[in-house]
Amino acid sequence: MISAGAERVFIHEVAPRDGLQIEPVFVPTDRKVAWIDRLSDTGLAKIEITSFVSPKHVPALSDGEEVARRIRRRPGTLYCALIPNARGAERAAQSGLDEINVVISVSATHNRANLRMDPEGSFRALREVRQVLAGTGIALTSSVATAFGCPFEGRQERAKVLDHVERLLAEGCTAVTLADTTGMANPRQVADLVAAVLARHPALPLTLHVHNTRGAGLANVLAGWQAGCVRFDAALGGLGGCPFAPGATGNVCTEDVVNMFEEMGIGTGVDLDSLIAVSRELPDLVGHDVPGQVRAAGRPLDLHPAPPGA
């Protein structure tokens, strides 16, 4: 018997950001907008639609303003963007999003590789971001990159991760995401860290962001849910990865996560058939096959005709 987590979970789609940022080919803005609109229609709780980072570093997302302006906003879905600094916050504020997600790594080495500054520089930037957002009504949230391990430094001390979360809350973040940037986490580690964060901050809206780099994505989501997490980032088709972390590959796949929870009788609010239909168009969008499994296999009860005589 699987020990009980909550009966309702909230799925955050990150493919338009985490997915596209690592793609070598620029997906035209029209196609991004149409794709995000179709994702909205599936009932996802949140969509990270782009990032407002340096276009020199991530050219694939250089059209963030236009994407934000042109997408349809579905009531019930929150629209969010990832940013590294105050310049990103200004761009996001002008684009009228619901939330911004400031990324800071626990690992100093990954923060320098990804954002070209020490975590201290990122915390200074966070303070500036807070000032930019004051009075805008845009929620300030933060992602804790490399929370479960760094591809350069290895495991990060649990106390260091907990201090990092503490500091984000002290700086005014209203929600936090624990990110397994390069899929180094295992289920026991996820359960331990999620439980430790929620024990200290029971009312914190905590999100788990895992990559399936080593095949533990769904197991880690399940472990997070059992430990009390109800919000999960995932990417359609299993797209995704950090361009500034060696060996990074896709996020846990959205339709595989939704399928797992729905099969367990846990509500996601997402129309899985519509989600699979959008996912099946991904190879055309990004120009290659994608790793998601439910899109390939179909839902468990998509039955096949019996062979003659069976």
116 binds, among ligand COA, Zn ion, none (CB under 5 to 8 A by kind): ligand COA
- Tell me the C-alpha distance between 223 and 275, whole Å: 24
Q: How far is the CB of 253 from Zn ion (least distance, A)?
A: 13
87 binds, among ligand COA, Zn ion, none (CB under 5 to 8 A by kind): ligand COA
* Segment interacting with ligand COA (CB under 6 A) among 47-55, 148-156, 200-208, 299-307: 47-55
**Given 150, 173, 242, 253, the catalytic residue:** 242
**In this structure, are residues 173 and 142 in contact, taking their beta carbons and an 8 Å threshold?**
yes
Convert residues 12-31 into a mask of x (bound to ligand COA by CB under 6 A) and - (unbound). Answer: ---------x----------
The H-assigned helical ranges of the chain are: 29-41, 64-70, 86-94, 108-115, 119-133, 158-170, 187-200, 217-226, 254-263, 272-279, 282-286, 294-297
**In this structure, are residues 84 and 53 in contact, taking their beta carbons and an 8 Å threshold?**
yes
Which of residues 210 and 222 has its CB atom nearest to ligand COA in the complex? Answer: 210
What is the number of other CB atoms lying within 10 angstroms of the CB of residue 78?
17
141 binds, among ligand COA, Zn ion, none (CB under 5 to 8 A by kind): none
Residue 180 touching Zn ion (CB under 5 A): no
**In this structure, are residues 250 and 235 in contact, taking their beta carbons and an 8 Å threshold?**
yes
Convert residues 75-104 into a mask of x (bound to ligand COA by CB under 6 A) and - (unbound). Answer: -------x-xx-xx--x-----------x-
Query: How would you classify residue 70: left for phi > 0, otherwise alpha for psi between -120 and 50, otherwise beta?
Result: alpha
Q: Is the dihedral of CA 69, 74, 75, 76 positive or negative?
A: negative
Which of residues 9 and 58 has its CB atom nearest to ligand COA in the complex? Answer: 58
- Tell me the C-alpha distance between 236 and 291, whole Å: 10
For Zn ion, the binding residues in 16-55 under the rule CB under 5 A are 18
**Active site (annotated) includes residue 242:** yes
Which of residues 100 and 132 has its CB atom nearest to Zn ion in the complex? Answer: 100
Rounded (to 5) percent helix, strand, coil in the chain = 40, 15, 40
Residue with tokens 């500091």: 167
Residue 52 touching ligand COA (CB under 6 A): yes
Which of residues 132 and 248 has its CB atom nearest to Zn ion in the complex? Answer: 248
Contacts of 98 (CB under 8 A, 6+ apart): 78, 79, 80, 138, 139
Which of residues 11 and 58 has its CB atom nearest to ligand COA in the complex? Answer: 58
List interacting residues with Zn ion (CB under 5 A): 18
Residues lying near ligand COA in the complex (CB under 6 A): 21, 51-58, 82, 84-85, 87-88, 91, 103, 114-116, 242, 244
Residues with catalytic roles: 242
